[in-house]
Amino acid sequence: MGAATFTSLDETHDPAIKSWVNSANSSESDFPIQNLPFGIFNTALDVRKRIGVAIGTEILDLNAAIARGPLPGLPESVICACRQDALNDLMALSKDQIKEIRIALSRALRLGSSQEKNLAACLVPQRDAVMHMPARIGNYTDFFTSIHHARNTGKMVRPANPLFPNFHTLPVAYHGRASSIRVSGTPCSRPRGQVLNNGSEIPVYAPTEKLDFELELGIFVGQGNTLGKPISIEDAEQHIFGVCLLNDWSARDVQRWEAQPLGPFLAKSFLTSISPWVITMEALAPFRCAAVQRDGEAPPPVSNLVSRRNQEMGGIDISLEAILRTDSMRSKAREHTISRPAYKHQYWTVAQMITHHTENGCSLLPADLLGSGTVSGPSDKDLGCLLELTADNKEPLQLPDGETRGYLEDGDEIVLRGRCHRDGYTGIGFGECTGRIVSNQP
């Protein structure tokens, strides 16, 4: 693997760099020149799906840019990966190749670049674009890596002993469903399933009455591994392409009935939403932080999941936000933030998820998606789902204008956002992951 580590900084992270795309220079922008996330888009005028790079309020059409020949120094294999209708081939490139693309894009979009004239014709306003799934996702695995989420939800059913003993030794996960992952903006049709009504022992088949969201980080695998060859904790970061926002919609009543003894199934697989822009691990380099320190009572993790580098820098400091827009709020152009958890509190790191996933020899593929599990912080305000925020509807949220919510109602919209800040660096954002609940009438 390359000598550069996952926290190496280079010219692309320099906060002094400005772009000739003016909107990218606003301190409010999610997409300054230090970010350069990849996504798939098309427009009404050109319906071909293609790779774009978000810059300010614009998208650089990578296909058009390459057709004009102004990204010098990139080998043919890299150029070919940039001209696809999904990010799979790009995600399969080596870290050195990804860095080459990032440097070429940064230099081309920089204020004073000789390529400005040529590339200005390759910009598409984001408001004119339709965003699509960033990649063809072969496999999806959802983890459970927040100790706060695990404790809060565990307490509801096992008050004396909320954490299972394995929580401290491995990042718990289940195999999810890749076929029902959709890009932000896709409506969430209230699912039907087996639901136990109060006082009954026989379930009925009905629309869920406990529709919830889960605020998570989505992690895209980069280069995969050969079946039978585990990825070591030292190498794990080399296999992570980037991250997005992920909403793991959940039907809590269906989940409660079906989940014993094998875990989540139909309560989760009706829809998973992801944000369209994939933030590369290279863009996140300035925002890496120490992994969570275990308290003295917790057993140590098993040795294959431990490295000094992971403990020192395996965390990511991302400020996340979950916002609710009810029909009433929407009519007044309002929204209401219901949670602001920070990703740095996750008990297990992304590298540990990769290593644990492959420790039995299981193969990961480029563009496989991992969910972090619900991101909840130590404060009871920083909780990543309504199950926790409302104590399973026992303490409904009090919203502006007298509205209350236990679980989501038809018309409600959940918006997820994320940003990274660090003094001395340019902050970067994730864009949004949105979804609105629509009713499911037979």
Beta bridge partners of 182: 273
User: In angstroms, what is the minimal distance from the CB of 165 to Ca ion?
Assistant: 21
Is residue 102 within 8 A of residue 30, CB to CB? The reply is: no
User: In angstroms, what is the minimal distance from the CB of 143 to Ca ion?
Assistant: 8
Per CB under 5 A, 248 contacts Ca ion: yes
The span of 199-207, 229-237, 240-248, 331-339 binding Ca ion (CB under 5 A) equals 240-248
What are the Cα distances from residue 164, in Å, to 114, 126, 157, 168, 406? 59, 45, 12, 8, 27
Burial status of residue 387 (CB atoms within 10 A of its CB: 0-12, 13-18, 19 or more): buried
Measured from the CB atom, the residue of 142 and 392 that comes closer to Ca ion is: 142
Per CB under 5 A, 413 contacts Ca ion: no
Residue 221 host element (H or E) = strand 215-221
Per CB under 5 A, 89 contacts Ca ion: no
Per CB under 5 A, 321 contacts Ca ion: no
Measured from the CB atom, the residue of 88 and 376 that comes closer to Ca ion is: 376
Beta bridge partners of 315: 289
The span of 44-52, 214-222, 358-366, 389-397 binding Ca ion (CB under 5 A) equals 214-222
User: In angstroms, what is the minimal distance from the CB of 214 to Ca ion?
Assistant: 4
Measured from the CB atom, the residue of 143 and 287 that comes closer to Ca ion is: 143
Per CB under 5 A, 388 contacts Ca ion: no
Determine the size of the site formed for Ca ion (CB under 5 A).
3
148 as an active site residue: the answer is no
User: In angstroms, what is the minimal distance from the CB of 261 to Ca ion?
Assistant: 19
Q: Which of 214, 253, 388, 413 binds Ca ion (CB under 5 A)?
A: 214
Strands 272-274 and 181-183: parallel
User: In angstroms, what is the minimal distance from the CB of 268 to Ca ion?
Assistant: 7
Which listed residue (148, 149, 239, 356) is catalytic? 149
Type of residue at 58: E
* Helix (H), strand (E), coil (C) string for 251-290: EHHHHHHHCCCCCCCCCCCCCEEECCCEEECCCCHHHEEC
Residues 123-162 that bind Ca ion (CB under 5 A): 142
Locus of tokens 């550069």: 4
Per CB under 5 A, 212 contacts Ca ion: no
What backbone phi and psi angles, to 5 degrees, belong to 104?
-65, -40
Two structure tokens written together for 356 = 């644990």
The whole-angstrom separation of Cα 241 and Cα 253 is 35
Measured from the CB atom, the residue of 218 and 366 that comes closer to Ca ion is: 218
Measured from the CB atom, the residue of 17 and 267 that comes closer to Ca ion is: 267
Binding residues for Ca ion, rule: CB under 5 A, are 142, 214, 248
> Catalytic residue numbers?
149
